[in-house]
Amino acid sequence: MNTDLILKNIAKHISLTEEEKLYFLSLLKELTFKNKQYITQEGAICKHVTFINTGCCRTFNIDNNGFEHILNFASQDYWVGDLYSIITKKPGVFFIQAMEKTEVLQIAKSDLDNLYLKIPKFERMFRILTENAYVDTQNRVMEGLGLTASERYDIFTKKYSGIIHLLPQKQIALYLGVTPEFFSRMKKKSNS
């Protein structure tokens, strides 16, 4: 099991003893998802928090008219999960889908709850991770309200510079909330 990256990710926020590290690692399960395979699906209860070792995935929903809408993309060194479902134990509201071969480490919510009690430092780590993700999502709301699609695309290219080459144009358009045709015209205009 490749645990270097997850231990480095954790070490950014908290210090663990060797014993604590071993206990944490004993809770992890290694999984590989193929391109287009689902890590979790709308309607299913999401019971795991997932750390991406390699690869890339997208979190999206499908509206009543069958259109997809993308919440975010995540790649190496990111944590993903349908947090609503994880917290409430109710059916999930998101699909999380691999966009290429994606190797992950998963921890079950039940094990995470025990981990919080046994090593409260993990409360701190997930508080900080959630705060950062929350701020990021606040920004996304404000960009949607106040910026043009072109301005949002500029921010997108910076935010996702590491994985933008992996993302089909259609997926970027879905993230920005514009049609692929509008996105294509917008890109042509900005390149001219």
Q: Pick one of 135, 154, 169, 185: the residue that binds a copy of itself (CB under 8 A).
A: 135
CA distances (Å), origin 191, targets 81, 153, 166, 177, 185: 36, 13, 20, 20, 10
| Smallest separation, CB 135 to a copy of itself (Å) | 5
Q: Pick one of 123, 154, 164, 170: the residue that binds a copy of itself (CB under 8 A).
A: 123
Residue among 93 and 186 whose Cβ is closer to a copy of itself: 93
Binding-residue pattern over the window 21 to 60 for a copy of itself, x denoting contact by CB under 8 A: ----------------------------------------
| Smallest separation, CB 32 to a copy of itself (Å) | 27
| Smallest separation, CB 30 to a copy of itself (Å) | 25
Burial of 113 (0-12, 13-18, 19+ CB in 10 A): exposed
124 sits near a copy of itself (criterion: CB under 8 A): yes
15 sits near a copy of itself (criterion: CB under 8 A): no
Contact 106, 29 (CB under 8 A): yes
How many CB atoms within 10 Å of residue 185?
12
7 sits near a copy of itself (criterion: CB under 8 A): no
Which H/E stretch holds residue 109? helix 109-118
CA distances (Å), origin 105, targets 50, 80, 81, 146: 6, 11, 12, 37
Beta bridge partners of 51: 79, 105
Q: What angle do CA 163, 172, 184 make, to 5 degrees?
A: 120
Looking at residue 43, its amino acid is G
| Smallest separation, CB 113 to a copy of itself (Å) | 11
108 sits near a copy of itself (criterion: CB under 8 A): no
| Smallest separation, CB 41 to a copy of itself (Å) | 16
Residues near a copy of itself (CB under 8 A) are 61, 63, 67, 69-71, 83-84, 87, 93, 116, 120-121, 123-124, 126-127, 130-135, 137-142, 144-147, 177
